[in-house]
Amino acid sequence: AICHGAQLLIEADVVKGKKMTCYKSVATDLKNAGANWVDKEVVHFGQFITSRRPDDLAAFNRELIYTLLLYEH
C-alpha cells in the first residue's frame, strides 16, 4: 500500500499490531486502528509492504521486487 492505500487496510481491519507507514494525514487513522506507524520511505512487515508517498515509489518497488524474487521458489 502506498500513500492513502493504508486506508483500505484499515477498513479491512488487518493493521492491528503491524508496523506500517503511510501518508502523514492518514497516520492518526492507522495508529487508532492499532498499527505501529513509523515515518520511513518503505516498511516491510510480514505480508505488508507500505510506503508514505509517491516520492517513495522507487524504494517501494525495490522492496516489492526483492520480496517477489525471494519467494519465487
Residues with catalytic roles: 3
Rounded Cα gap, residues 58 and 14, in angstroms: 25
Q: For residue 4, which amino acid is it?
A: H
At 2, is the secondary structure helix, strand, or coil? strand
Q: For residue 29, which amino acid is it?
A: D
